[in-house]
Chains A and B, each alone.
Chain A
């Protein structure tokens, strides 16, 4: 199994960069052995944050990838980042640009 290669080495998102993510949304943290499920929008956000996208860019990405009329994508993206922090996948000091 090979982890996805990252384009940068931001220590803030280093843990995310090391995660292995399957197409079905199975997530493996090789550092702790923890496994997770993400749904498709969660997977898009996880990959976006890992790639260093700003909050605006994440919102655009969700709007591009999904039929999301009426959804509060900004709130959802921030809440998802919170979940990543709660699960120890992002440091608590991380802020979306």
Chain B
């Protein structure tokens, strides 16, 4: 017997290696939900962004971490610019600041030749400090503050009027300051196949836009030099742009024919969809999102009937935001815990939640692993780090068991996620950018407690410390510990005053 045992041990060395361990899973089959080939993360993990290992980025900047790819930003921008320029002679993209107004991102677009599209005084000032002259700023939005508006009018910005009250306010401002500015008006209209987008601008279909032009002319102070229209957001059917641009074209031609107005620009806004997936969308972006070429074709096809000589054609301004930058942004996050919910579902807690992904309320993001993970994917809820019930990044995604410390990539998150992030419960993380040659740097440092409290003030009467109530002995506290003043209940009369 001993000989036999020895032999087994000897043979043991040449045995094939033991299978790799994966956390044990028990998955109950439910018809319709049991497709193990189902929505699992990409089988091959993504361990680098633009060639830079995710581990290197996290070691340097921490987790969670937003990462922008300059290469993708530039590539998408050039793709849009060239696709439009091939089809229309005068094209001018304007970077939609609200989509991501980090200086490094904006300056990348400006270097590529993009103007700035701003919808608040803050954004206009940011564009100016990013080196944009005022005459390359497009100023939109329903709430333009007076000082910025005045500076914009004086500096020759593209100003698109949103409503009649603003038209009157601009006229007044022009009179006060002796200006005769050129302005544009914003139009809205039905384009057939997308939800109505009629809260901004003047309606084209019911004649309101025509009234606005007549009203503008009657004022004798402003002259119309452009039109602005934005057909909606995340428009998956490019034909909406053809329908919209055709309607705008008819309006432009009528302005010229009946009122003798020739325009300097037509601003057709943004609204191009990214590869992201809306919660109402069944198929992923790779199967439904039109390409930039398709969008460009749809937009310019609608402009083909413009009644202008080629060299007099108005400049086509675009304000594409999401469609340009969404795929350039990745959020690196780390698994903090695995859980089993009472109903049997697996849950995973990660260090980035809706504090950084407000957009998680309408998108189902892709979640990719950065290293091979063994194990059976099963339906999983992905929770963020907030101690809040609403903090859900994905309600349902097929994921294998993820060891604590696993790095995940959430994408695409280039659009809106950073600008809509909030310092809530957790401080905001760093944002890094990877350059075209694989160099990388922080473009926004992680927030500190000092940043958070910088603008806080504690009124003097709270700051002053213990104020023992008159006629009472001071409450003894621990040595060195300030004692809070005792609260006295309000009298009935006081209460009545406070409540009114």
**A–B interface present (Cβ within 8 A):** yes
Q: Which residues of A contact B (CB under 8 A)?
A: 27, 34-42, 44-46, 62, 65-68, 71, 76-77, 79-80, 82-84, 86-87
Q: Determine the distance from Cα of A37 to Cα of B19 in the docked complex, in whole angstroms.
A: 18
Chain A residues with Cβ below 8 Å from B34 are 37
Nearest-neighbor residue (CB-CB) of A25 within chain B: B376
B340 in the interface (beta carbon within 8 A): yes
B17 in the interface (beta carbon within 8 A): yes
Chain A residues with Cβ below 8 Å from B23 are 41, 71, 76
Q: Which of B350-404 contact A (CB under 8 A)?
A: 375-376, 403
Q: Once the chains bind, are A67 and B25 in contact (CB under 8 Å)?
A: no
Q: Determine the distance from Cα of A86 to Cα of B344 in the docked complex, in whole angstroms.
A: 7
Chain B residues with Cβ below 8 Å from A45 are 24
B18 to chain A, nearest CB (A): 5
B453 to chain A, nearest CB (A): 39
Chain A residues with Cβ below 8 Å from B36 are 37
Q: Determine the distance from Cα of A46 to Cα of B24 in the docked complex, in whole angstroms.
A: 10
Q: Determine the distance from Cα of A76 to Cα of B24 in the docked complex, in whole angstroms.
A: 7
22 CB-based A-B contacts, threshold 8 Å: A35-B28, A35-B29, A36-B29, A37-B26, A37-B34, A38-B25, A39-B25, A40-B19, A42-B24, A42-B25, A65-B18, A65-B19, A67-B21, A68-B21, A71-B21, A79-B24, A80-B24, A80-B26, A82-B340, A83-B26, A83-B344, A87-B344
Q: Determine the distance from Cα of A87 to Cα of B403 in the docked complex, in whole angstroms.
A: 23
Chain B residues with Cβ below 8 Å from A68 are 21
Indicate whether A67 sits within 8 Å of B26 (C-beta atoms), given known contacts A37-B376, A87-B344.
Answer: no
Chain B residues with Cβ below 8 Å from A66 are 18-21
A-B contact count (CB 8 A): 72
Chain B residues with Cβ below 8 Å from A27 are 26
User: CB within 8 A of B22: which of A40, A83, A84?
Assistant: A40
Count of B residues near A, CB < 8 Å?
20
Q: Once the chains bind, are A36 and B28 in contact (CB under 8 Å)?
A: yes
B128 in the interface (beta carbon within 8 A): no
Nearest-neighbor residue (CB-CB) of A35 within chain B: B29
Q: Once the chains bind, are B340 and A83 in contact (CB under 8 Å)?
A: yes
Indicate whether A67 sits within 8 Å of B27 (C-beta atoms), given known contacts A39-B376, A86-B340.
Answer: no
Q: Once the chains bind, are A34 and B375 in contact (CB under 8 Å)?
A: no
A25 to chain B, nearest CB (A): 9
Q: Chain B: interface secondary structure?
A: loop
Nearest-neighbor residue (CB-CB) of B378 within chain A: A37
- Contacts A36-B28, A39-B376 supplied; 5 other A-B pairs, CB < 8 Å: A39-B24, A39-B375, A44-B24, A71-B403, A83-B24
Nearest-neighbor residue (CB-CB) of B344 within chain A: A86
Nearest-neighbor residue (CB-CB) of A43 within chain B: B24
Q: Determine the distance from Cα of A86 to Cα of B19 in the docked complex, in whole angstroms.
A: 27
Q: Determine the distance from Cα of A49 to Cα of B23 in the docked complex, in whole angstroms.
A: 16
Q: Once the chains bind, are A34 and B28 in contact (CB under 8 Å)?
A: yes
Q: Determine the distance from Cα of A87 to Cα of B343 in the docked complex, in whole angstroms.
A: 10
Q: Once the chains bind, are B29 and A37 in contact (CB under 8 Å)?
A: yes
Chain A residues with Cβ below 8 Å from B403 are 71
Q: Once the chains bind, are B19 and A84 in contact (CB under 8 Å)?
A: no
Q: Which of B17-53 contact A (CB under 8 A)?
A: 17-29, 34, 36
Q: Determine the distance from Cα of A84 to Cα of B27 in the docked complex, in whole angstroms.
A: 10
Chain B residues with Cβ below 8 Å from A35 are 28-29
Nearest-neighbor residue (CB-CB) of B28 within chain A: A36
User: CB within 8 A of B26: which of A40, A62, A65, A87?
Assistant: A87
User: CB within 8 A of A67: which of B20, B29, B375?
Assistant: B20
Task: Bits for B325-353, please: 1 = Cβ < 8 Å to A, else 0.
Answer: 00000000000000010001000000000
User: CB within 8 A of A41: which of B17, B22, B27, B28?
Assistant: B22
Q: Once the chains bind, are A41 and B340 in contact (CB under 8 Å)?
A: no
Chain A residues with Cβ below 8 Å from B376 are 37, 39
Task: Bits for B82-109, please: 1 = Cβ < 8 Å to A, else 0.
Answer: 0000000000000000000000000000
Nearest-neighbor residue (CB-CB) of B404 within chain A: A72
Chain A residues with Cβ below 8 Å from B28 are 34-36, 87
